[in-house]
Amino acid sequence: MRKRMESDDDLIEEAKLRTVWWALCIFAVSYFLTRSFGTVHRADWNGSDVAVKILMEQDFHPERLKEFLREVAIMRSLRHPNIVLLMGAVTQPPNLSIVTEYLSRGSLYRLLHRHAARENLEERRRLSMAFDVAKGMNYLHKRNPPIVHRDLKSPNLLVDKKYTVKVCDFGLSRLKANTFLSSKTAAGTPEWMAPEVLRDEPSNEKSDVYSFGVILWELMTLQQPWSNLNPAQVVAAVGFKGQRLEIPSSVDPKVAAVIESCWVREPWRRPSFASIMESLKLLIKTLPPNQLLEEN
């Protein structure tokens, strides 16, 4: 069981102080994104760019507020080059917010599906981006107990100026206190979700591995997953009919094998992120070095 370094009361008292501090130090300079959980603003703090994610729901009852504080405490404990850095939080309504580092290239989804992505992102760079995601997720899954993302998808992966990818949006994450966590409390996007989650069955960190397989498919094909189906049709196709995205013949067979291993029906047969990292590392070594890209 995870040892609590701080009580809920301690977190609440600290939150009040941090709320005042952030209110004094941060001012929004631009609104740039609407997400399922709320809105995201680019802001300035003492000359540093930050992203302020304002929660859509502000009317938290006491237990929900304590849960939010615990989530913030978990996020605050994470330090990894492929995890978006938490810089602070506003934990008093009506301004419940999470403040993180700002990554200039935006989401991986936006980067992959914009015009001329294939010309700007050669295969080695795209595999390196997949490797970044695997490293970040391996770090989360190696925590004790493991942290399960539960909504891993390209819109929840951010890219910095040097094309380093970082995992973000842990508002839906929960520490896996027992062997399984209930998918009934999970929320995600069907196009990236594992079949067992779509069927509302118990799930664990292997569901994140399935989602990574979709992201790797996305990186290799530069296509949007299940773009021809609506969300309900995706649930039926993946969750109940056992369908998977078609992997084009143009994709390297070794990369295709990694994708397929992530999509195995039985979660326990899917690889760990440590294993995925080893596979990707070998694949990256076989490709020519990245060409220098203009940082625009």
56 CB-near residues (< 8 Å, 6+ apart): 36, 37, 38, 39
Strands 174-175 and 97-101: unpaired
Cα–Cα dist 192/195, whole Å: 9
Q: Are 124 and 287 in contact (CB under 8 A)?
A: yes
Q: DSSP secondary structure string, 220-248?
A: HH---TTTTS-HHHHIIIIIIS-------
Angle between helical axes of 206-221 and 253-262 (0-180°, round to 10):
150
Triad 266, 268, 271: Cα angle to 5°: 105
Upstream peptide bond of 225 is cis (omega within 30 degrees of 0): no
The DSSP secondary structure of 184-218, one letter per residue, reads: GG----GGG--HHHHTT--B-THHHHHHHHHHHHH
In Å, how far from its chain's centre is CA 71?
15
> What is the rounded distance in angstroms from the CA atom of residue 80 to the CA atom of residue 200?
31
* Cβ contact 139:129 at 8 Å: no
Helix 273-285 vs helix 123-141: crossing angle, to nearest 10: 160
Tokens linked to 148: 């399960």
Token duo for residue 64: 């929900």
For the question of residue 151 being annotated catalytic, the response is yes
| Catalytic one of 132, 151, 169, 208 | 151
Indicate which residues carry an active-site annotation. Answer: 151
